Structure 1
Amino acid sequence: MSTLLYRIGIVAYRRPWYFIAPWAVVLATIVGLLAVYPPHLSSEVRIDGTPAQNLIDDLAEKMPQMAGGQGIIAFETENGSRIDSGENLNALLAAIDRVYTSDHVIDARAVLRQEAAKGMDSPTVRAAAATTPPDYSSGATPLELNGQAVPGVLISPDKTSAVLQFQFDKQTFELPPDTIDNTVAAAKFATAGHDIAVLPSATMVRMPDIVGVGEVVGVGIAALVLLVTLGSVVAAGLPLVTALTGVGVGVGGALVVSHLVSLHSLSAVLGLMIGLAVGIDYALFIVNRQRRYILDNNMSAAQATGRALGTSGTAVVFAGSTVAIALTALAVVRIHLITTMGIAAMVTVVIAVLAALTLLPASLGLAGERICSPKARQKAAFARAVAPSRPTRRVATAWARMVTRHRFLAATAALIVTGLLAFPAAQMNLGLPSGASYSQGTTQRESYEVIKDRFGAGYNGALIVVADAGNRPDPIAPTDIAGLDHDLQQLPGVTAVTLGAVSSDGRTVVFSVVPSTGPTDTATEQLVHRIRSQATTFAGERHVELGVTGFTALGIDVSARLARALPVYLSIVAVLSIILLSLVFRSIVVPIKATVGFILSILAAFGATTAVFQQGLGQQLLGFHATSPVLAVLPIVATGLLYGLAMDYEVFLVSAMKEAHAHGQRGDDAIIHGFEQAARVVVAAAAIMTAVFAGFVFNDDPMIRQFGFALAVGIVVDAFVVRMLLVPAVMSIFGDSVWWMPRVLQRLLPNIDIEGRRFDLESTEAPYAQHDLVAAKS
């Protein structure tokens, strides 16, 4: 592997355009395809096999008109005047008419007229006649026109607000582009010139912007870190160019494929996050090694490029493979949504590795000897001549000496810090984002607040209760429908029950149940469990099979499924970690220590995310105020991402210590020397990843925001607490026994040279020109 990568590095350096041209062609092709075929992303959080999802799929077959996406628009007068009279009423009716006549919106008025025309032959009319109308005496009331209620419209008790609930003919992610925006624009057009705010809910949110101001700032900070670390504009620019090209190909390719495979919008964002982070880091490792060969060993840029690929390039292949394996292992949980996220991120990582091994050395060939400035060369030559044995990285050396001197105190401090951060994770609630998850000032949050304050929190997420005749051949009797309606209204925590629709054969009935609490409240979750627990009773008394779906029910089922899958996946990752690191370091202590450190980092990330997003601690510092459950898919996906990144730091740091030990240094001397060699690049890599991930914290989409925060915290804790503090302290505690492994395992396990140390050693015995000649001929 090392020799092959060395030869690729030499050839790419000598003939750069042979490598750059294919990347440019692929990238241009992807851009052209996206211009002709815009990406088709989904916002659906779908997990097959859950009760709520099965009910939606069943409903789509029996009553397609009820299976479309839901739309909610709140209207509020800005001056506190009544919305149900005068010009405001005319504007509101015009807005309702425009919404109902918009493309892909089901006109509930026309549906009711059709059913009314059938008279008692209509199952819906017969069911409506048997059920008791909702009690509006103490709450919201329907908007009436000429003595008839306008379908889907309620007026708040203070008469200043209205809410319109309607359905699209498809799920929102299946609608043509701009459908939702055009529907909202139609309502705003009708109310223009009136003091009426039009507030679409979170159910009508458009796809998030993949790149925003925060993300650009994060990349800018990463560029600054590169400049400080490498000390050259040319050297700092190459990792950025390499990473952006890899992301363009990886994420762009995923967007092109979205026309063939269902791809969640979060998959593209995660691909962008991980692609930028590892793309910059992997390129940094190689460029840093090349510069060290030039400055410390006085090599030419061509020789140094080949040697850097032969050594650090091998480590990049191992690191990238580790991340790719961890992400691919997400398929083990057998959840399509998680699998596609993992595969999209994995492909982006693989492309980032390929870019670092081909595009980067070609770019180094274009840069030539300019990769190191004359000033840097003079400074390095002076250091070699005057003080060859003096530590060149004094801060890292001083830190390592302090940690090893106070090893027990350092280890205890690391455990206390990670423990305090992880503590809130014990109260972590999983769920899906609602309107309350959006920042103040967004239309989604304003709509949520208006509906909660004027109508009740439950109107932001009504439950859908479906009664089905099951194996019974007859339609559901109107008396059973009326009895079921009454039973649901009597349940604690129910504000209102409304008959939604009845299938044409009378065998399926849909109710809308409005809880007294919000979509993500614990009381609403308890109501869902209460209805499901009484399904057997309803089956016996009302002769129906009962199910619950809707936003809250979906959130409960998704969270429960993912919560069960997380321990399984975490166990797989832990075993994988121990096996891989045992092969790399031929040690028992190092793999266990590294795995425990990774678990501490994961728990700290979960705890901090819970404290900030669920409990609201410190949100003002981040510029938002929105408490919500932790995103259900976050723990398991973040585990895969952080595992791969944490192992990168472990490998680059501990392998330097192992190398020092192999060259005769013992005990703390080996730890300090290895730390001195690797700490600078590990700190720079962690700072870059933190900057990239932190940029996504300021995205308007609550899902992206949570992922950015969790990954940024995970990287900070893993790099600066676990690897910089806990790792040298624990290794100092164990001393040289940290490298012990039973002889039986030493004979059985292969000796993997992930950083090309043997190649590095062997190549010093042969002239570089000979290597160049062999590489050129190949």
Structure 2
Amino acid sequence: MLAWVVALVGVGFAAAAASGPSNSPLTVPGTESQRGFDLIDKRFPGASADGATARVVFSAVPGQTLASSENVAAVRNVVAELRTGSSQVASVVGPFDDSQGLGPRALNADKTIAYAVVTYTTTATELSDTTVDALKRAAADGRRAGLRVEIGGDALTEVPVAGRGEIVGLAITVLVLILTFGSLIAAGLPVVTALWGVGIGIAGITALGGVLHLSGSTALLALMLGLAVGIDYALFIVSRYRAELADGHDGEHAVGRALGTAGSAVVFAGLTVVVALSGLAVVDIPNLTKMGLAAAATVTVAVFIALTLVPAFLGFAKRRILPRKVRKAEKNEGRESKASRQPRSSTAGFGARWARIVMARPLAVLVLGILGLGALALPVLDLRMALPDDGHKPRDTTQRKAYDLLANGFGPGFNGPLIITVNTGEHRDARIAADKASQIVGALNGVAAVGPPTVDAFDGVAMVTVVPKAGPNDSATKDLVSHIRDYRGELRAATGADVLVTGRTALNIDIAHRLATALIPYLALVCGLAFVLLLIVFRSVVVPLKAAAGFLLSVLASLGVIVGVFQHGWLGGLLGVDQTGPINSTMPIFLIGVVFGLAMDYEVFLVSRMREEYASGAQPRAAVVAGLGHNARVVTAGALIMISVFAGFIGSTEPMIKMLGFGLGVAVLLDAFVVRMTLVPAALALLGQAAWWLPRRLAAVLPNPDIDGARLGGEDAAGTVPPQRRPASQARK
């Protein structure tokens, strides 16, 4: 415990001395849009800098125009206030500042809508409160002058927070633990150790945030997963420790056996989560990789906490981990002798009764469950993906109002312009080449306008802004990007230059394509590695295949529910979904990675006990009943805890975290109660002995981690193994 205190304090000091989170630049190596951005960074210093920007949008009241002398003066006053509002302001270009190059292009045709561009010297997360307040105050002064003023851009970006729902989720977690264990000490231990591990994980992310450019969302994802798995891992070990105490073992033997069985399951369950999260690196999007690795590191800390700090707490708690009434009964009646202690029953209770109900009609249960999950997955057929922008924010936010004003005044494509880079290399006639490229691109269907080229100091590279007719997330804009890229040969022949399509909109399109093409390799990687892990754990070929099939059902059904709520708006009002639209492009692959790891958690915890009973001599069906009889209650508690933790993040200010929290909560609900506790026993009942089949040659080369505790024995202090101490199934046999 002292070692963990030192670790927490040390990482905490490192976090306090760190510079804090920073904006992680969104890059997609190997894509055309990224090559275009790299070229702009090299030849146009400052053109794509990481500094925050704000677009202050002005709109005249109905019946007036911004060209009137009063409104022009009001706009100029706001622009002047923006320039002097903060030392972090790099430049401000207003709609009537012709000398600074913006000029009439920042005023729409009927002169009712205009905008000013504010560029800052630092990133959005590093803007001071004084700077943000000055921006908001300037907009408020413009409104008092009779204008409608809204603010877009990333300058108002806030570091995502979980919201009050997380506190409610923790309160529900404590309540579930109290009802499960009947002891405040047993209920508090998993929460304390999970918070301890999360504290180390979040502090580590904070300490490295500035160096590795980790975003605020990275810490929030680590918090979400660290809490969920940390509580669950401790829950399973504490539950097994109490069971071993009930079987007559003393404290040291009980905790040793708990770690030798439930602890082994925690190790392999944690490995599957780490594999799934680390596998996000195959997508080759650095931001995604960093988030996955940071979350995987937090899960790793949770595993080590469960294997070391939890037993340390148990060493202090001893038998106080049991309910008070049990300890009181022991004191009044005298502790039973170890030789006469009878093993706890695994054939009574809700879990065993539920197993018998499922196995009475296994085929019907299996078909009904698959059909139900398939029905929930149907909305996936209508899945639309995009990266969120101001157009996805709630309609009452100033960012969304600014977005809508610009779309109304300048066209839907104005919020998602494309950038064409024209690279002539050593020819030094970029302006001529850019003019030719502008003529060809401007004649294409779907192009609303083409701006004048901007040429670098060496006249070798030019930038041309292209405004599509459709919005940034419309399929027509995606088709336009593909169309321009298909014209690369014609553009090269006409201009003698290399023409690339880039810009934020093109980058988002490339990200969606990268994620879609990486989905199958990612699934193959995590499923393959997890199959090997589960093959070693269960020493069965069929069980890992069944586990993977159940995972696919869970993730498709949960993704279907996400599409229904966040894209179609079904029951969105009850969940605080103010704005519907395309699903975040990163959501499906993140959901797959996290759900896969969590699904394998419950597979390992539940089926490992069935394997333990089977290895002790029970018949296959009896092993299923005994396994559910032992673990159904604790798996139910663990699932409810995870659901409550994830549900707490639905109140997050970050749309991605809100969506992920909801999706993970639904996924755990479906996977734990429908797949693992219903479809798994039904499938095992149908498979019978074949479920545990393993070829002899494979069995000879596979390592045996003894997750079922067969080699632990049941020795007492004298080293003997009383017959009464054997598993119930073996005693019956």
TM-score (ref. length: structure 1): 0.84
Verify: 1:41 aligned to 2:22, yes or no.
yes
Is the alpha carbon distance of 1:764 and 1:336 closer, same or farther for their aligned partners in structure 2, counting shifts above 3 Å?
Answer: farther
Deviation digits for residues 449-489 of structure 1 (CA, Å, limit 9, x no counterpart): 3333444322222222222223x4232244x4444333333
Shift of 1:419: 1.4
Q: Secondary structure at the match of 1:66?
A: coil
Q: Which amino acid aligns with 1:96?
A: V
Equivalent position of 1:339 in the other structure: 289
Equivalent position of 1:94 in the other structure: 77
Q: Which amino acid aligns with 1:412?
A: V
After superposing the two structures, state which structure 1 stretch, 380-389 or 453-462, moved more.
380-389
Whole-angstrom distance in 2 between the partners of 1:179 and 1:342: 34
Shift of 1:718: 1.4
Equivalent position of 1:445 in the other structure: 400
Equivalent position of 2:12 in the other structure: 31
Equivalent position of 1:162 in the other structure: 114
Is the alpha carbon distance of 1:548 and 1:345 closer, same or farther for their aligned partners in structure 2, counting shifts above 3 Å?
Answer: same
Equivalent position of 2:533 in the other structure: 580
Confirm or deny: 8 A CA contact 1:68 1:170 kept in the other structure.
no
Equivalent position of 2:37 in the other structure: 56
Identify unmatched segments of 5+ residues in structure 1. Answer: 1-18, 110-141, 769-778
TM-score (ref. length: structure 2): 0.89
Equivalent position of 1:476 in the other structure: 430
Q: Secondary structure at the match of 2:229?
A: helix
After superposing the two structures, state which structure 1 stretch, 237-246 or 176-185, moved more.
176-185
Q: Which amino acid aligns with 1:428?
A: L
Whole-angstrom distance in 2 between the partners of 1:309 and 1:199: 59
Verify: 1:655 aligned to 2:608, yes or no.
yes
Report matched runs for 1:307-326 at 5 Å.
307-326=257-276
Deviation digits for residues 197-231 of structure 1 (CA, Å, limit 9, x no counterpart): 54332533424334321222222222222222222
Confirm or deny: 8 A CA contact 2:60 2:148 kept in the other structure.
yes
The correspondence for 1:199, drawn from 127, 134, 150, is 150
Is the alpha carbon distance of 1:302 and 1:449 closer, same or farther for their aligned partners in structure 2, counting shifts above 3 Å?
Answer: farther
Report matched runs for 1:368-379 at 5 Å.
368-377=318-327
Shift of 1:555: 0.9
Whole-angstrom distance in 1 between the partners of 2:104 and 2:605: 61
Is the alpha carbon distance of 1:389 and 1:234 closer, same or farther for their aligned partners in structure 2, counting shifts above 3 Å?
Answer: closer
Shift of 1:723: 0.5
The correspondence for 1:284, drawn from 219, 226, 235, is 235
After superposing the two structures, state which structure 1 stretch, 700-709 or 299-308, moved more.
299-308
Deviation digits for residues 605-627 of structure 1 (CA, Å, limit 9, x no counterpart): 33333333333333222112323
Q: Which amino acid aligns with 2:21?
A: H
Equivalent position of 1:521 in the other structure: 474
Whole-angstrom distance in 2 between the partners of 1:63 and 1:537: 26
Equivalent position of 1:250 in the other structure: 201
Verify: 1:73 aligned to 2:60, yes or no.
no
Whole-angstrom distance in 1 between the partners of 2:100 and 2:539: 80
Whole-angstrom distance in 2 between the partners of 1:511 and 1:273: 43
Q: Which amino acid aligns with 1:71?
A: T
Verify: 1:238 aligned to 2:220, yes or no.
no
Whole-angstrom distance in 1 between the partners of 2:15 and 2:149: 33
Q: Which amino acid aligns with 1:26?
A: A
Equivalent position of 1:221 in the other structure: 172
Q: Secondary structure at the match of 1:64?
A: coil
Whole-angstrom distance in 2 between the partners of 1:546 and 1:230: 66
Report matched runs for 1:426-505 at 5 Å.
426-470=381-425, 472-478=426-432, 480-499=433-452, 501-505=454-458
Q: Which amino acid aligns with 1:476?
A: A
Whole-angstrom distance in 2 between the partners of 1:400 and 1:456: 61
Confirm or deny: 8 A CA contact 1:309 1:357 kept in the other structure.
yes
The correspondence for 1:354, drawn from 304, 318, 337, is 304
Is the alpha carbon distance of 1:172 and 1:492 closer, same or farther for their aligned partners in structure 2, counting shifts above 3 Å?
Answer: farther
Is the alpha carbon distance of 1:54 and 1:326 closer, same or farther for their aligned partners in structure 2, counting shifts above 3 Å?
Answer: same
Shift of 1:591: 1.4
Is the alpha carbon distance of 1:407 and 1:191 closer, same or farther for their aligned partners in structure 2, counting shifts above 3 Å?
Answer: same
Count the aligned residue pairs: 713
Verify: 1:297 aligned to 2:251, yes or no.
no
Whole-angstrom distance in 1 between the partners of 2:20 and 2:538: 44
Confirm or deny: 8 A CA contact 2:161 2:654 kept in the other structure.
no
Shift of 1:245: 0.9
Verify: 1:601 aligned to 2:554, yes or no.
yes
Equivalent position of 1:570 in the other structure: 523
Shift of 1:241: 0.9
Confirm or deny: 8 A CA contact 1:43 1:265 kept in the other structure.
no
Whole-angstrom distance in 1 between the partners of 2:713 and 2:399: 58
Is the alpha carbon distance of 1:635 and 1:150 closer, same or farther for their aligned partners in structure 2, counting shifts above 3 Å?
Answer: closer
Deviation digits for residues 230-280 of structure 1 (CA, Å, limit 9, x no counterpart): 222221111111111101101211110122222233322221111111111
Confirm or deny: 8 A CA contact 2:611 2:708 kept in the other structure.
no
Shift of 1:196: 4.4
Whole-angstrom distance in 2 between the partners of 1:65 and 1:704: 32
Whole-angstrom distance in 1 between the partners of 2:211 and 2:7: 19
Q: Which amino acid aligns with 2:41?
A: A
Whole-angstrom distance in 2 between the partners of 1:164 and 1:279: 48
Identify unmatched segments of 5+ residues in structure 2. Answer: 722-733
Whole-angstrom distance in 2 between the partners of 1:33 and 1:752: 37
Confirm or deny: 8 A CA contact 1:99 1:186 kept in the other structure.
no
Q: Secondary structure at the match of 1:46?
A: coil
Shift of 1:55: 0.7
Equivalent position of 1:138 in the other structure: none
Q: Secondary structure at the match of 1:260?
A: helix
Is the alpha carbon distance of 1:394 and 1:763 closer, same or farther for their aligned partners in structure 2, counting shifts above 3 Å?
Answer: same
Whole-angstrom distance in 2 between the partners of 1:322 and 1:708: 20
Equivalent position of 2:730 in the other structure: none
Deviation digits for residues 584-615 of structure 1 (CA, Å, limit 9, x no counterpart): 22222211111111122222233333333333
Is the alpha carbon distance of 1:356 and 1:667 closer, same or farther for their aligned partners in structure 2, counting shifts above 3 Å?
Answer: closer
Identity %: 38
Is the alpha carbon distance of 1:572 and 1:236 closer, same or farther for their aligned partners in structure 2, counting shifts above 3 Å?
Answer: same
Shift of 1:320: 1.6
Shift of 1:762: 4.6
Equivalent position of 1:409 in the other structure: 364
Verify: 1:712 aligned to 2:665, yes or no.
yes
Shift of 1:362: 2.4
Confirm or deny: 8 A CA contact 2:29 2:284 kept in the other structure.
no
Whole-angstrom distance in 2 between the partners of 1:198 and 1:538: 41
Q: Which amino acid aligns with 1:474?
A: R
Q: Secondary structure at the match of 1:73?
A: strand
Whole-angstrom distance in 1 between the partners of 2:684 and 2:217: 39
Whole-angstrom distance in 1 between the partners of 2:656 and 2:10: 31
The correspondence for 2:586, drawn from 620, 633, 648, is 633
RMSD: 3.2
Shift of 1:703: 1.8
Confirm or deny: 8 A CA contact 1:312 1:756 kept in the other structure.
no
Shift of 1:146: 8.8
After superposing the two structures, state which structure 1 stretch, 638-647 or 347-356, moved more.
638-647
Report matched runs for 1:93-242 at 5 Å.
93-100=76-83, 103=87, 105-107=89-91, 143-144=95-96, 151=103, 154-155=106-107, 161-168=113-120, 172=124, 181=132, 184-185=135-136, 187-188=138-139, 190-191=141-142, 193-196=144-147, 198-242=149-193
Shift of 1:348: 0.6
Confirm or deny: 8 A CA contact 1:310 1:759 kept in the other structure.
yes
Q: Which amino acid aligns with 2:695?
A: P
Q: Secondary structure at the match of 1:40?
A: coil
Whole-angstrom distance in 2 between the partners of 1:152 and 1:104: 27
Is the alpha carbon distance of 1:473 and 1:585 closer, same or farther for their aligned partners in structure 2, counting shifts above 3 Å?
Answer: same
Is the alpha carbon distance of 1:548 and 1:600 closer, same or farther for their aligned partners in structure 2, counting shifts above 3 Å?
Answer: same
Whole-angstrom distance in 1 between the partners of 2:118 and 2:215: 24
